[in-house]
A and B are shown apart, each in its own frame.
Chain A
Amino acid sequence: MSSESKRKKKAGAKPTIGVFKFASCDGCQLSLLDAEDELLGVVGAVDIAYFPEATRNMLDGPYDIGLVEGSITTHHDAERIQEVRRKCKMLITLGACATAGGVQALRNWKDVDEFIRIVYATPQFISTLKLSTPIAEHVPVDFELRGCPINKYQLIELITATLAGRKPNIPTYSVCMECKRKANVCIAVARGTACLGPVTQAGCGALCPSYDRGCYGCFGPMETPNTASLTSQFRVLGQSDDQISRAFRSFNAWAWQFRRASEECRRT
């Protein structure tokens, strides 16, 4: 394609970025387009070599940075991620699907063939794996950015840090820290609302508690979450085992800490 050769000439020494999608909602890569104030700046600093949601230009790798959204749910995608890894010097996974299997990992506890029969009239047309799994279960990943969706400022920080060759400033403490910093009254203590904040990684800015509802864990488990203690507290608040299990099984259900907690609360 002639535009391709034009682009290659223009590319110069700028680092190249590829954006790759697997099973997902497109929200995390949209975060890049949602960074309205920063977008033209980022685009000036890098060369977007592959980003089908935004451009028809699709250059072959290698890429300096690969941003991967989505989980692995098909045989074809399990092969494609290997190829993407080979083409990217640095591989960054974006969001709950890529880092924990996403909401579609709820199939992992069920009979996937039955799921297909529920949704599709001719099940034999559908080819899918039994499990929805995060990218790191298939290839080495250099950095995992959490969230459902990711926080666009964390993405800009991550790209900036990577380009500058420094460690990104992405905290791994819990949502509680963000609530304290915002001087929110603790909804779990003051109102008895079931809140996953104590075991969930910060990054959203404690949104749900700030909007009068309990955190539902969309940033996944914090570094060392005490899920057993939170499960006990949920029981004190009158939550049933089913409710507790469902709380851990949402957008990061297959992250092992949440997975274990969702199974243990049914056993004890």
Chain B
Amino acid sequence: MSGRGTRTIKVDALARVEGEGALYIKMAGDRVSDVKLRIYEPPRMFEAFLRGRHFSEAPDITARICGICPIAYQMSAVHAIERALGIKIDPAVRLLRRLFYCGEWIESHALHVYMLHAPDFLGYQDVIEMSKDHREVVEKALRLKKIGNRIVQLMGGREIHPISAAVGGFYKVPAKAQLRKLMGDLQWALSASLEAVRWTSTLQFPDFEQDYEFVALRHPAEYALCEGRLVSNRGLDIDPAEYEDRFAELHVKHSNALHSVLRGRGSYLVGPLARFNLNFDKLPDTARQAATDVKLIPPVKNLFRGIQVRAVELVFACVEALRIIAEYEPPGAPRVEAPNQRGVGQAITEAPRGILYHRYAVDEKGIIVTAKIVPPTSQNQRRIEDDLREYAAQLAAWPLEEATWKCEQAVRCYDPCISCATHFLKVVIERE
């Protein structure tokens, strides 16, 4: 034991994250004896009340797990159910779903990069304080975020809990001319995103590299959003249907969110870093070039550089949205029939924060018998605790208040969505 007393890093309510959580770290000198990411967001038990509902209700109900990434829930739900029913969707619908998802990525990443994460690097409490010195940056961020929201609004009626996603396709699809109107804004968004890549590369990053197992979807032809195999940098390569064979959820006392682990291996990391490192070759040229120009090249093992990777993914989302709109021809019908029939289906899609797994079993009347949902933040939870164990030790000599803020920042790098994970953020560091 070192001569110094116990030190507790404690954040009772983590700020600028979605949902309610707390962080508790107990230290003796530079040895961390306990790390608890406590998610006290009340349990809402979606998997239980999905039982007895018709499959057509699942996209609307599961959207309500998260107001920040409702489209992720809708997309994982429709793909899993379509697999259960053996439905093939129209290629034009497939493209529209990617466009819809790009809208959510732009909105969510712009929100996190500028409004939730940037204040940490620039030393502000929040974006409001930051806007006093950096009004132009904040105004651009708001415009970028709004353009993402415009895509979602046009396709789904509204930004939060959009109403058009359906099993088999959409309730209504946009006309070509409607989408074309977004192109001017998206061209602006693309140049703003390229600027974001350059701007985020001027930030100061702590020296903190970890040996992660990165897990993301991988598609043979594109930067994966809704389809592909689940792969890792340590040889994982499975179909989404095999997910539960390889991953387990553990229930720990200090959290209302379940912890996911790779069976026999432990924690892993999902989200922007994982996608970027595993799918760099699938990024559009413009995005890959922008990353290369600022020397952001895989493997990126520094969590804090997530802000740069999100900026690169903003470029991807804008390029992809522009491509889809340019190629778009409306499908013959907005959706294909979804018959009531017995089946089990699983799907994984890439939510802005990482992979989101859904499984449904439905009966011959189309009623959901069982549902399982594993959100990205529960998958990252164990990894967040592992990171903090290392990071808090590095900060042992720092004054408590600053060490606490730094640990909080480390958690925010994950853009955790606590509402999803319970379905989380106080930080406590206890030093001995």
- Quick check: is B330 within 8 A (CB to CB) of the other chain? no
Chain A residues 131-154 with CB under 8 Å of chain B are 148-149
Query: When the two chains form their complex, are residues A213 and B163 in contact, meaning their CB atoms are under 8 A apart?
Result: yes
- Quick check: is B392 within 8 A (CB to CB) of the other chain? no
Closest B residue by C-beta to A4? B125
Chain B hits for A26, CB < 8 A: 18-19, 66-68, 417, 419
- Quick check: is B400 within 8 A (CB to CB) of the other chain? no
- Quick check: is A104 within 8 A (CB to CB) of the other chain? yes
- Quick check: is A3 within 8 A (CB to CB) of the other chain? yes
- Quick check: is A24 within 8 A (CB to CB) of the other chain? yes
Chain A residues 119-135 with CB under 8 Å of chain B are 119-122, 125-126, 128
A35 vs B187: C-alpha distance when bound (angstroms): 22
- Quick check: is B172 within 8 A (CB to CB) of the other chain? yes
Query: When the two chains form their complex, are residues B45 and A125 in contact, meaning their CB atoms are under 8 A apart?
Result: no
Stretch binding the partner chain, chosen from A37-45, A85-93, A158-166, A169-177: A37-45
- Quick check: is B122 within 8 A (CB to CB) of the other chain? no
- Quick check: is B356 within 8 A (CB to CB) of the other chain? no
Chain A contributes a number of interface residues (CB within 8 A of B) equal to: 63
Chain B hits for A21, CB < 8 A: 19-20
Query: When the two chains form their complex, are residues A103 and B115 in contact, meaning their CB atoms are under 8 A apart?
Result: no
A31 vs B158: C-alpha distance when bound (angstroms): 11
- Distance (whole angstroms) from the CB of A224 to the closest CB of chain B: 25
- Distance (whole angstroms) from the CB of B17 to the closest CB of chain A: 7
Query: When the two chains form their complex, are residues B158 and A120 in contact, meaning their CB atoms are under 8 A apart?
Result: no
Chain B hits for A149, CB < 8 A: 67, 158, 160-161
Chain A hits for B61, CB < 8 A: 103, 250
Chain A residues 1-38 with CB under 8 Å of chain B are 3, 21-31, 33-34, 36-37
Those 6 A-B pairs whose CB atoms lie nearest each other, nearest first = A27-B67, A55-B126, A115-B48, A106-B49, A207-B157, A121-B251
Could you pull out 23 A-B pairs where Cβ atoms are within 8 angstroms? A21-B20, A25-B419, A27-B70, A27-B161, A28-B160, A30-B160, A33-B111, A36-B143, A54-B116, A55-B126, A56-B408, A57-B125, A73-B42, A110-B49, A114-B48, A115-B49, A128-B43, A148-B161, A210-B157, A211-B164, A212-B172, A213-B166, A213-B171
Q: Which residues of B contact A (CB under 8 A)?
A: 13-20, 40-49, 51, 53-54, 57, 60-61, 64-68, 70, 111, 115-116, 125-129, 131, 138-139, 142-143, 145-146, 149, 157-161, 163-164, 166, 171-172, 249-253, 256, 258, 334, 408, 417, 419
